[in-house]
């Protein structure tokens, strides 16, 4: 049964279940709602990098922190479509484009992103964007261009949020998720663990996600990859068991969501990733970079799929493909 009326106590009890029992319960729910042999493979491309005015404490793309990230203006549409084609050829079924913006502005850059969306949609891939805050009308334009999903993470609990970001509010985030939902775009929203939060914050974030009017279709679970020059550069890395606990709890309370094992996967060996899949993760990012932080190489992932006998999930399995556009030329 899909529930959106979870209580904090219920989620806390699930989260604190002894780990082997928790994995067993999550694996059982996973098998009721998904093919456990399938894992979605997504490629994430940073189409505009660095120079962001926001102050997210984990992010090397924030202009105010001194990191090694090189600022790059919005890529050209044909460059992005070439990258999407390569991702498709190597087995990705979802292509996500990220821009280090605070919010979308109605300008030529947004028009270019709309062209990118049309082009990738025309290739038969699920197109996702993560561009910062959005208004209702911008969400509608993205939908009309063929956008399948929009990522906007809650990052953490409402209570801990101000320790991580001060330049926009938790409510801003929820409003953007509302605009995405209203436009009929699939919602991708999750968060990051290992930023110095308490267990209650992890549970609080899961509670917010699982009590939205509809669960997000995708829930990325990230482990902080501390980057030199950011305020969180010295954070201790979380253990794989903490990741598994988050993934398993997310799987049980949001049974139909794709739970994405995201940042932090590069540090996991095959056995650890297998436990994450057993606990209900069924989506990964492919490609050697996650925006600006490292990710496993393509060959390592091919080997992983072979060893675990899993296969990439086809596109549009949970929903109708948006209207298909022919591959379009660069917007002028
Ligand atoms: S996470 Fe996004 S909004 Fe925050 S600083 Fe990085 S690019 Fe900007």
pLDDT single digits (tens) 265-283: 888 999 999 999 999 999 9
| Collapsed DSSP state (helix, strand, coil) of residue 64 | coil
For residue 185, the model assigns a pLDDT of 96
Instruction: Decide whether any atom of ligand 1 lies within 6 Å of the 52 Cβ.
Output: yes
Alpha carbon of residue 175 to chain centroid: 18
Instruction: Decide whether any atom of ligand 1 lies within 6 Å of the 291 Cβ.
Output: no
For residue 110, the model assigns a pLDDT of 96
Out of 58-72, 116-130, 315-329, pick the least confident: 315-329
Out of 31-35, 232-236, 314-318, pick the least confident: 314-318
Q: Exposed, middle or buried: residue 85 (CB in 10 Å: 0-12, 13-18, 19+)? A: middle
Residue of 44, 47, 53, 100 to test ligand 1 pocket, by largest number of atoms within 8 Å of CB: 100
Q: How many angstroms is it from 260 CA to the middle of ligand 1? A: 19
Residue 20 has pLDDT above 80, yes or no: yes
Residue 266: which residues within 8 A CB-CB, separation 6 or more?
Answer: 225, 293, 294, 295, 296
For residue 320, the model assigns a pLDDT of 56
60 neighbors 229 (Cβ within 8 angstroms)? yes
Residue 324 has pLDDT above 70, yes or no: no
Residue 100 has pLDDT above 60, yes or no: yes
Percent of the chain whose pLDDT exceeds 70: 92
Rounded CA separation 40/107 (Å):
33
pLDDT tens for 132-191 read 999 999 999 999 999 999 999 999 999 999 999 999 999 999 999 999 999 999 999 999
Out of 79-83, 133-137, 310-314, pick the least confident: 310-314
Residue of 48, 50, 51, 52 to test ligand 1 pocket, by largest number of atoms within 8 Å of CB: 52
Q: How many angstroms is it from 150 CA to the middle of ligand 1? A: 15
Pairwise pLDDT comparison (325 vs 112), residue with the higher score? 112
Instruction: Decide whether any atom of ligand 1 lies within 6 Å of the 60 Cβ.
Output: no
Strand 289-290 with 293-294, pairing: antiparallel
Out of 9-13, 91-95, 126-130, 180-184, pick the least confident: 91-95
Give the number of the atom of ligand 1 that is nearest the alpha carbon of residue 52: 8
Rounded CA separation 161/205 (Å):
10
Exposure string for 290-302, b = 16+ CB within 10 A, e = fewer: bbbbebbebeebe
Name which residue sits closest to atom 5 of ligand 1, judged by CA: 62
Residue 28: which residues within 8 A CB-CB, separation 6 or more?
Answer: none
Residue in this structure with the two tokens 């319960």, named with its chain if needed: 25
59 neighbors 67 (Cβ within 8 angstroms)? no
For residue 287, the model assigns a pLDDT of 67
Q: Give the relative orientation of helices 199-210 and 8-15 as an angle to the nearest 10 degrees.
A: 120
Helix (H) and strand (E) counts in the chain: 11, 12
Residue 66 CB neighbours (<10 A): 10
> Is pTM beyond 0.85 here?
yes
Rounded CA separation 96/87 (Å):
10
Q: How many angstroms is it from 324 CA to the middle of ligand 1? A: 30
Rounded CA separation 256/282 (Å):
11
**DSSP secondary structure, 174-218, as one string:** HHHHHHHHHTTPEEE--EEE-SS--HHHHHHHHHHHHTSSS--SE
Residue 330 has pLDDT above 60, yes or no: no
Residue 328 has pLDDT above 70, yes or no: no
Mean pLDDT calculated for residue range 27-56: 94
User: Active-site residue numbers?
Assistant: 52, 56, 59, 96, 128, 188, 260
Q: How many angstroms is it from 51 CA to the middle of ligand 1? A: 9
For residue 319, the model assigns a pLDDT of 63
Give the number of the atom of ligand 1 that is nearest the alpha carbon of residue 62: 5
The DSSP bridge partners found for residue 191 are 155, 221
For residue 301, the model assigns a pLDDT of 85
Residue 318 has pLDDT above 80, yes or no: no
The confidence band for 298, taking pLDDT boundaries of 50, 70 and 90, is: confident
pLDDT tens for 205-257 read 999 999 999 999 999 999 999 999 999 999 999 999 999 999 999 999 999 99
What's the mean per-residue pLDDT of the chain?
91
Residue 261 has pLDDT above 50, yes or no: yes
Question: Which secondary structure element, helix H or strand E, spans residue 247, and what is its range?
Answer: helix 240-253
Mean pLDDT calculated for residue range 118-122: 95
Mean pLDDT calculated for residue range 84-105: 91
């Amino acid at each position: 049964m899909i529930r959106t009326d979870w209580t904090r106590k219920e989620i806390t009890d699930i989260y604190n279940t002894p780990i082997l029992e928790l994995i067993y319960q999550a694996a059982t729910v996973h098998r009721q709602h998904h093919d456990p042999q399938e894992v979605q493979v997504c490629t994430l491309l940073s189409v505009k990098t660095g120079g962001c005015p926001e102050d997210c404490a984990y992010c090397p793309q924030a202009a105010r922190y001194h990191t090694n990230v090189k600022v790059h203006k919005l890529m050209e549409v044909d460059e992005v479509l070439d990258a999407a084609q390569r991702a498709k050829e190597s087995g990705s079924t979802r292509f996500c484009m990220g821009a280090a913006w605070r919010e979308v502005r109605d300008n030529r850059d947004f028009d270019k992103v709309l062209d990118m969306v049309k082009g990738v949609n025309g290739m038969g891939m699920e197109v996702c964007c993560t561009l910062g805050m959005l208004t209702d009308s911008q969400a509608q334009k993205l939908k009309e261009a063929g956008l399948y999903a929009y990522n906007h993470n809650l990052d953490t609990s409402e209570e801990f949020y101000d320790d991580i970001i001060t330049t926009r509010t938790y409510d801003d985030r929820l409003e953007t998720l509302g605009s995405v939902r209203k436009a009929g775009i699939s919602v991708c929203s999750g968060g990051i663990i290992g930023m110095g939060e308490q267990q209650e914050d992890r549970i609080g974030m899961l509670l917010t996600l699982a009590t939205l009017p509809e669960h997000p279709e995708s829930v990325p679970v990230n482990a902080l990859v501390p980057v030199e020059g950011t305020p969180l550069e010295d954070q201790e890395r979380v253990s794989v068991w903490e990741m598994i606990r988050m993934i398993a709890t997310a799987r049980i309370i949001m049974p139909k969501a794709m739970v994405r094992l995201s940042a932090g996967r590069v540090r996991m060996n095959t056995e650890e990733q297998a436990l994450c899949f057993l606990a209900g993760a069924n989506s990964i990012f492919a490609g050697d970079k996650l925006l600006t932080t490292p990710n496993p190489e393509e060959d390592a992932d091919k080997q992983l799929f072979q060893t675990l006998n899993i296969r990439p999930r086809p596109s549009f399995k949970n929903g109708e493909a948006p209207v298909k556009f022919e591959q379009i030329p660069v917007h002028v």
